[in-house]
Structure 1
């Protein structure tokens, strides 16, 4: 019912995004923002959703090859695509990480026929994002899959609301032109603590290689919009790459 409410509030924006940024906090905080991002992919999409999430516990980059259980049912993994990625499989690490798990019920609700390729990203440096993007592009070419890419990320963590908004929107502005090096530069300049900057970068690189031209910020909120406490907030953004 909660997911239904979120999506009912979001009218389809009339675009078919190649990739999105979706937050991964509790649904009460960021669920509506996630729905805003996922609503840019048509609900009849039945291809493969590559879900890239950051490792919050320091695990190495790894994929998952087993089905994911959600309260709404099983989300199947596209094992052929995962195999084509040629990335280590580590189910134990995935069980201890929430950044991908949070996306799965939304995916099951919105795209009941889609499959997923979950990738947890440990090293998030620019070089690692480029390397992962190259693997994804090879896998797309090898399998011929119809793919959309979900980058799971929150933005600034535990800073005043005005600081979060200023830092986050400055970094996000670089994504409007898919300028990944500039995105990294702005994060470093401001010290913004986006936890999934590597997944965002890899997603943008792949989408740009597949013909995407721009990123669109659809919605920006913070935890303070829910709690009323803006002294220390976490930032959430819905971004579509088209």
Structure 2
């Protein structure tokens, strides 16, 4: 049994699961007036985009996504992670048997791990925070969802992200499982709040238009430092395969300067990937 132990507790989120719970509950209370109460029964949620910064900075955006999956039904969670350190194959699935964080264990989706669809690597997530930061949220909002797969996208070229989407869709169809796919990403980094919002708007427009190729193109054309644009693009391609009526809705936008004033901020956006629930007559 191999375990990927928490590497960022006490840094991005508290080292105690009790303190993490208190922090999330505090953020929820602060966000109470901003939470969008969408009737879950009328939506078929496929996934979303969630920021992965420290909870004191990006938790105010992240909680909106997790708030929306409380009553949805899923069998397994796939976390699409960027590669901040550039380790592992171009695309890989984490090979650990389980992930451990303070107060919770997550079992690896062995069926997906052993499917042969992805190269297996236990190195790609070494000192990588993007996936781990999602786990305390999952433990808090959906403790029943303790089966996960972490897919690291080191090379986010268009062919790779479409391959990821196609393989996840195929796996879901063949296995009969319903996946929750989370794209872990912050948005523009270390520019003024005004400039960052302008750059983010270019990317959000392409996301709303469901054009994953344009997301990649605009990131490069406008030099937008969206660290998880590969995971975002892969989620977009996957969502379109799931349902032609899929839509990405912005739940909450913000930036680090709202917490710690600065002339250079990091932007955070949470989005929901869903389609109207089809009701059979």
Matched, 1:13 2:38: yes
Aligned to 1:2: 23
**C-alpha separation in 1, matches of 2:246 and 2:117:** 28
Q: Corresponding residue for 2:149? A: 117
Residues 100 and 238 of structure 1, relative CA distance in 2, 3 Å threshold: same
Structure 1 residue 37 corresponds to structure 2 residue 65: yes
**What are the equivalent positions in structure 2 for 1:79-228 lying under 5 Å apart?**
79-84=110-115, 86-114=117-145, 115-211=147-243, 212-228=245-261
Q: Root-mean-square deviation (CA), in Å?
A: 1.7
Greater fraction of residues in helix: 1
Number of residue pairs matched by the alignment: 241
1:170–1:186 CA contact under 8 A, matched in 2: yes
**Rounded Cα–Cα distance in structure 2 between residues aligned with 1:160 and 1:84:** 45
- Change in Cα spacing, 1:172 to 1:11, as seen in structure 2 (3 Å) is closer
Larger radius of gyration between Structure 1 and Structure 2: 2
Measured after TM superposition, the shift of residue 240 of structure 1 is: 0.7
Contiguous gaps of at least 5 residues in structure 2:
1-21, 275-281
The runs of at least 4 aligned residues of structure 1 exceeding 4 Å deviation read: none
Structure 1: gaps spanning 5 or more residues: none
SS in 2 for 1:240: strand
TM-score for both structures, normalised by structure 1 = 0.93
Contact 2:74 2:179 in 1 (8 A): no
Distance 1:92 1:233 in 2: 30
- How does the TM-score come out when normalised to structure 2? 0.81
Q: 1:123, CA displacement in angstroms?
A: 0.8
* Aligned match of 1:71: 102
With 179-188 and 11-20 compared, the bigger mean Cα shift is at 11-20
